[in-house]
């Protein structure tokens, strides 16, 4: 008996310690898996499972069952409505009285309880419910069900299979499992809430990015020549940046790629302010018309000013027509004074323009365009993104 007692204390301490770290695990499925596995191995029972309340579904879900044999869960039986006999047993006042002494329901007690209800209390409803619970427990191969409450609300029911040694659960153990089940249920709710919030953050981020895409395509509606240009420039720019990291000429944070993506998508947004007759003109622009076109980077930044915290992206929009030799616009920045995000877009933008057919000239081949970009490295273009572009072309990735 001393050994058994010792083992009991051991597993309690281990489970208690383990349950402490639970709230740091934010994947509900992983969490349930770990906990059930731990109970099965430490307590030496054949299997265990947990029925957990899920508020979005307003129902209880048998989250996992695991062990030597596993519960037999017929399809469609993993979801428990509030009217399910096991749930009612632990939620409705009238029935809770039947379980409250032990902090649990034991299959071995069911017949005695049914007898009590019929002989002492003469309650048919209670007998029926207890009978149903018995059938359910048998179906799940469980010998005990331990409820977990938080603020008097049933959060979960821990289902325990038989012990390997064949002994039943004593009251001390049941009390311990009641406390454990409550910790576990809260940790799982916590993880579920985390996942919900994470999903919401991701969803909002995704909406933001897709709104950016819509915004970027709004310009293409107006500018006949740029059809698909924005998307291609974006793809090329991101490829070039990744290649720069790969050949170790740059070391970008992951955030940089998103900023570059946004900047590339929006680099020509300012063209929305250029009159259609200028934008779609067949032939050379007059000096005045060219001056109007040159306003588009500044104009883009103005349009995007409500998003001023996207500073790096706005730099990309503003400076994508600067030249390495300082002869670009709008500010005549040069060399390393040009933000690298803009230098990358500049190369991608020019490359795509070269290979695209225009009404007044056919597009170059990619080979020709790569040569042309190379020829202008150090004058028009920053040499580092040019090097990456050339490498990409040589690897057949353009």
User: Out of 197, 246, 285, 367, which residue is the one contacting its own copies (CB under 8 A)?
Assistant: 197
Q: What is the smallest separation between the CB atom of 1 and its own copies, expressed in angstroms?
A: 27
Q: Which helix (H) or strand (E) holds 260?
A: helix 254-266
Residue 241 burial by Cβ neighbours in a 10 Å radius (0-12, 13-18, 19+)? buried
What 359-366 contacts at long range (C-beta under 8 Å, 24+ apart), as own/partner pairs, is: 359/225, 359/282, 360/282, 360/283, 366/393, 366/398
Residue 295 interacts with its own copies (CB under 8 A)? no
Number of H helices, E strands in the chain: 16, 6
Q: Which helix (H) or strand (E) holds 33?
A: helix 28-42
Q: What is the smallest separation between the CB atom of 215 and its own copies, expressed in angstroms?
A: 5
User: Out of 13, 72, 82, 205, which residue is the one contacting its own copies (CB under 8 A)?
Assistant: 205
Q: Which is nearer to its own copies, 306 or 362 (CB)?
A: 306
Instruction: Give the Cα separation of 133 and 136 in Å (integer).
Output: 5
Q: What is the smallest separation between the CB atom of 97 and its own copies, expressed in angstroms?
A: 22
Instruction: Give the Cα separation of 201 and 195 in Å (integer).
Output: 10
User: Out of 4, 9, 30, 193, which residue is the one contacting its own copies (CB under 8 A)?
Assistant: 193
Q: Which is nearer to its own copies, 113 or 219 (CB)?
A: 219
Residue 201 interacts with its own copies (CB under 8 A)? yes
Residue 227 interacts with its own copies (CB under 8 A)? no
Q: Which is nearer to its own copies, 303 or 333 (CB)?
A: 303
Residue 214 interacts with its own copies (CB under 8 A)? yes
Tokens 């795509």 sit on residue: 352
Binding mask 5-44 for its own copies (x = CB under 8 A): ---------------xx-xx-x------------------
Which residues touch 351 (CB under 8 Å, ≥6 apart)?
236, 369, 370, 373, 389
Q: Which is nearer to its own copies, 292 or 307 (CB)?
A: 307
Residue 314 burial by Cβ neighbours in a 10 Å radius (0-12, 13-18, 19+)? buried
Residue 178 interacts with its own copies (CB under 8 A)? no
Q: Which is nearer to its own copies, 58 or 152 (CB)?
A: 152
Residue 192 interacts with its own copies (CB under 8 A)? no
Number of residues that bind its own copies (CB under 8 A): 43
Residue 172 interacts with its own copies (CB under 8 A)? no
Q: Which is nearer to its own copies, 217 or 368 (CB)?
A: 217
Tokens of 231: 């998307």
Tokens of 195: 């996942």
Q: Which is nearer to its own copies, 115 or 150 (CB)?
A: 150
Which residues touch 19 (CB under 8 Å, ≥6 apart)?
35, 180, 183, 184, 187
| 8 A C-beta contact, residue 330 and residue 348 | no
Tokens of 312: 């790096």
Q: Which is nearer to its own copies, 4 or 193 (CB)?
A: 193
How many CB atoms neighbour CB 26 within 10 A?
16
Residue 294 interacts with its own copies (CB under 8 A)? no
Q: Which is nearer to its own copies, 58 or 248 (CB)?
A: 58
Instruction: Give the Cα separation of 382 and 126 in Å (integer).
Output: 82
Residue 276 interacts with its own copies (CB under 8 A)? yes
Q: What is the smallest separation between the CB atom of 392 and its own copies, expressed in angstroms?
A: 27
The DSSP bridge partners found for residue 67 are: 47
User: Out of 55, 125, 275, 335, which residue is the one contacting its own copies (CB under 8 A)?
Assistant: 275
Residue 200 interacts with its own copies (CB under 8 A)? yes
Which residues touch 3 (CB under 8 Å, ≥6 apart)?
none
Q: What is the smallest separation between the CB atom of 310 and its own copies, expressed in angstroms?
A: 8
Query: Given the rule CB under 8 A, which residues bind its own copies?
Result: 20-21, 23-24, 26, 150-151, 182-183, 186-187, 189-190, 193-194, 197-198, 200-201, 204-205, 207-208, 210-215, 217-219, 221-222, 269, 272-273, 275-276, 303-304, 306-307
């Amino acid at each position: 008996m001393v050994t058994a007692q010792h083992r009991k204390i051991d597993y309690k301490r281990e489970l208690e310690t383990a349950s402490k770290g639970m709230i740091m695990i934010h994947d509900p499925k992983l969490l349930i898996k770990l906990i059930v596995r731990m109970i099965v191995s430490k307590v030496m029972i054949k299997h265990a499972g947990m029925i957990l309340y899920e508020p979005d579904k307003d129902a209880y879900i048998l989250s996992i069952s695991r062990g030597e044999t596993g519960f037999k869960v017929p399809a469609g039986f993993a979801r428990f409505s509030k009217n399910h006999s096991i749930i009612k047993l632990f939620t409705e006042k009238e029935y809770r009285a039947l379980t409250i002494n032990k902090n649990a329901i034991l299959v071995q007690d069911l017949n005695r309880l049914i007898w009590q209800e019929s002989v002492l209390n003469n309650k048919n409803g209670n007998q029926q419910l207890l009978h149903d619970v018995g059938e359910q427990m048998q179906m799940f191969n469980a010998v005990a069900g331990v409820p977990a409450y938080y603020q008097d609300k049933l959060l979960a029911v821990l289902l325990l299979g038989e012990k390997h040694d064949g002994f039943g659960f004593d009251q001390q153990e049941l009390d311990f499992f009641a406390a454990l089940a409550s910790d576990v249920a809260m940790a799982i709710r916590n993880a579920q809430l985390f996942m919900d919030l994470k999903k919401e953050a991701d969803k909002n981020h995704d909406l933001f990015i897709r709104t950016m895409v819509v915004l970027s395509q709004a310009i293409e509606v107006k500018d006949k020549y740029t059809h698909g240009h924005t998307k291609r420039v974006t793809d090329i720019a991101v490829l070039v940046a990744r290649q720069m990291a790969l050949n170790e000429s740059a070391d970008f944070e992951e955030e940089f790629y998103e900023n570059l993506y946004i900047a590339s998508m929006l680099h020509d947004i300012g063209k929305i302010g250029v009159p259609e007759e200028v934008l779609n003109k067949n032939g050379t622009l007059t000096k005045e018309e060219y001056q109007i076109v040159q306003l588009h980077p500044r104009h883009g930044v103005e349009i995007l000013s409500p998003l001023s915290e996207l500073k790096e992206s706005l730099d990309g929009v503003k400076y994508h027509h600067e030249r390495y030799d300082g002869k670009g616009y709008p500010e005549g920045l040069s060399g390393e004074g040009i933000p690298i995000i803009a230098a990358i877009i500049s190369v991608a933008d020019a490359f795509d323009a070269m290979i695209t057919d225009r009404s007044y000239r056919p597009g170059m081949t990619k080979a020709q365009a790569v040569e042309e970009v190379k020829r202008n490295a150090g004058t028009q273009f920053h040499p580092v993104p040019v090097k990456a572009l050339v490498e990409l072309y040589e690897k057949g990735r353009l």
